Amino acid sequence: MSTKGTTPLKAIDQANRERLLGITILEASDHAKAVEMVERGEADGFAMDDVLLYGLIASRPDPSKLKVVGKFLTIEPYSIMLNKNEPELKKIADDEMKRLIASREAHALYERWFMKPIPPKNTALNMPMNYLLKDFWKYPTDQVPN
């Protein structure tokens, strides 16, 4: 199952057809409904971006009842969007990202926002850094891989 109109829904539908998996794919109108369907046993799983899944789990009354598992179905890089006519701002953003990564401050920021309790409810996402981000931070670039 996934949320209507999302990339993960398209990916699981394609995999289901190409690999002849024979699974019934359900569509939820929104992420909250999808989580509720899994909790009620109406769906076996919920395919979605890992960061969204970790956030949804952290917001549940008993986060220990849910777990993020499996491999990436899609890879969709997150980016910083800037006006293309402001090269000075892009240079500042690029240089600061490189500085944060080289100084390892980016790792501390990741730990703070993805592994430790955060406001307003002091809930931790408990989202370990994935191998793609670890590798990307070894060689930071403004180029998005295909």
At 80-107, the pLDDT tens digits run 889 999 999 999 999 999 999 999 999 9
Distance from C-alpha of 16 to C-alpha of 59, rounded to nearest angstrom? 30
Here the tokens at position 1 are 């199952």
The model's pTM is 0.82
| Cβ count within 10 A of residue 92 | 12
Q: Indicate if the pLDDT at residue 145 is higher than 70.
A: no
Q: What pLDDT, on the 0 to 100 scale, is given for residue 95?
A: 94
Distance from C-alpha of 132 to C-alpha of 71, rounded to nearest angstrom? 12
Domains annotated on the chain, with CATH: 2-65 (3.40.190.10), 87-138 (no CATH)
Residue 28 exposure: Cα atoms within 13 Å on the Cβ side: 19
Distance from C-alpha of 134 to C-alpha of 54, rounded to nearest angstrom? 18
Q: What pLDDT, on the 0 to 100 scale, is given for residue 146?
A: 63
At 22-76, the pLDDT tens digits run 999 999 999 999 999 999 999 999 999 999 999 999 999 999 999 999 888 888 7
Reported residue count of the chain is: 146
pLDDT level of residue 116 (50, 70, 90 thresholds): very high
Distance from C-alpha of 59 to C-alpha of 39, rounded to nearest angstrom? 13
